[in-house]
Amino acid sequence: MSTVDASGAIHGADGKFAGHVAGEAAEVSLRGPDGSDTVAAPVSSDWRELRARQLDSLGYVAPIATSTRIDPKTTEGIDQWWSTTFVDAEYGHGGGDYPLMPDDNTPNMTAGKSISGNRRTHRMSYSGHGMTLRMPSKTAIHRFSAAQHDRTFDVPVSASLPDGRMVHGTVRVTKGSDGQWETKGLGFAPEHEVFVAEGVSAVLEGQRARTSLAAAGDLVARRRERLANTGAKAMPVQSTWIRSVGYGSTDSGEGMMTLTTKGYTRKDGSVAPPKTYGYKVDPATYAAMANSDAPGKVFNRFVRGERGVTVDTCGKCGLMTASGADHHCPTREKPRSVEDAAIRERQRERAALVSRIFRRRN
C-alpha cells in the first residue's frame, strides 16, 4: 500500500520514495467518451472531489487537459509531471483502455523512481514558433510504438503555448505504414489542441527531433494542409441523380464539397458512369445539401455556378481530394484492447491516490 507524508511525497509499500503529489491546476477541459466538444471550466474543490470519486469508481473516467505551473522548458518537477499525467489520463472505457506510455520505458530498466521502481522514461523538450513541448523523447515513443506493434496509445505532454498558457494532458497517437503519425489531443480546448497535437506529430515525423518543431512551420496551416491532403469521405444522400456528397478543403484552406452523380443508362443503351465534381462552398451550404430531403434543389439554388474544383479519388481509401494534393491515406486508430489492464490499473491507483490527497488538502 502506498502512503503519503506531510510534504506530499509518495512512498511505496517498501518505504521507498515513489513520487510526489501533483500540484494544483488552475483550469481543466473535459471531453466525453464519445469525443464530444471540449468544455473548459475552472478547477475547484468540487471538481477535485468529482475526479477522485471517478478514479475510485469502476466506471469510465474521461481524459482531461489541465493547466500547469511547471514550465515545459525545465526538467524540474518530474514527480509532479508524472502524477499529473496519471490524473489526466483516460480510464475504464467499455472497449478497453489504450496503453498510456508508462513512466518506466527505458532500454535497461535499471532501478529508479517510477511506479514499478525502475528508472523513469526519458523526457525531452522541443521548441519552435513560440511554443515548447515537454514529452517522452522521440526515441522512447518510437521504441514503445514498436514494442506495441504500432498500436494506438496515449502520450503524456505538457506545453507552453503561443498565447502564454501552459497545459498538461495526453495525445493519442497512431503510427501509419507510411511513417506519418495520426495525433489527437484529448480534452484540450480546440484552440490549444491544434498546437499540441500537430506539435507532437511534427516531432515524431521530423528528421531531426531537436529542430523538427521549429522546422514544421505554422502548425495551424499544417493541420489545414493535413486535412486537405487526407480528403473528403462520400456520404450517401436521397436523390434521383446525386449518389453522395462529401466535404473537405483545398490546400489553401477553402471549403470544398464533392458531389458524385449516379450512373444511368442512356436512350441508346450505353451506360453513363458516375462522375465526381468539386465545388468551393462554405460548411453551411454543404450541411444544407447533406441534410436535405431534396439535395438536388439545394444544389440548383445555392451551388450551381460556384467555382469548380477538379477532384481526384484515391483508389485505396476512396477519399477525395482536390486534384494535385499530396494525398496520404488516413491512419486509423487501432482497436482498443484489454491486454494492458494490469498496467492501466496500477496507473489508475496512482491517479486515485493523488486525487484523494488533493481532496484532503482542500
- What is the DSSP code string of 101-142? PPTT--SS--B-SSTTSBPPPPEEEEEETTEEEEEE-HHHHH
Residue 305 pLDDT? 84
- Highest-pLDDT range among 88-102, 215-229, 314-328: 88-102
In this predicted structure, which of 8-12, 79-83, 145-149 has the lowest mean pLDDT? 8-12
pLDDT recorded at residue 153 = 96
Which among 114, 130, 112, 124 is positioned nearest to 157, based on CA atoms?
124
Tell me the average pLDDT across 169-189. Answer: 92
pLDDT at 115: 83
Helix (H) or strand (E) holding 203: helix 190-205
Phi-psi region of 6 (alpha: psi -120 to 50; beta: other; left: phi over 0): alpha
What is the rounded CA–CA span in Å between residue 240 and residue 243?
8
Task: Summarize the confidence of residues 224-253 as an average pLDDT.
Answer: 86
Q: How many CB atoms neighbour CB 6 within 10 A? A: 5
122, pLDDT greater than 80: yes
CB 358, CB 48: distance < 8 Å: yes
* Residue from 356, 339, 328 nearest 95 by CA: 339
* Cell representation of residue 236: 450517401
The pLDDT value recorded for residue 39 is 33
Q: Strand pairing partners for 230?
A: none
**Integer CA distances (angstroms), 120 to 7, 41, 234, 285, in order:** 22, 32, 46, 52
118 - beta bridge partners? 111
Strand order in the sheet with 235-236: 235-236, 242-249, 255-261, 276-280, 308-309
Give the three cell numbers for residue 352.
486515485
Listed residue (275, 359, 42) closest to 351, CA to CA: 359
Above 60 in pLDDT, residue 168?
A: yes
Which pLDDT belongs to residue 361? 59
- For residue 9, give the C-alpha cell: 511525497
Find the mean pLDDT for residues 39-59: 68
Look at residues 64, 20, 117 and name the one whose alpha carbon lies nearest to residue 357. Answer: 20
Is the entire prediction scored with pTM above 0.85? no
124 by Cβ neighbours in 10 Å (0-12 / 13-18 / 19+) ranks as: middle
Q: Is the pLDDT of residue 160 over 50?
A: yes
% the chain with pLDDT above 90: 50
CA 162 to chain centre: 19
Supply the pLDDT for residue 323: 86
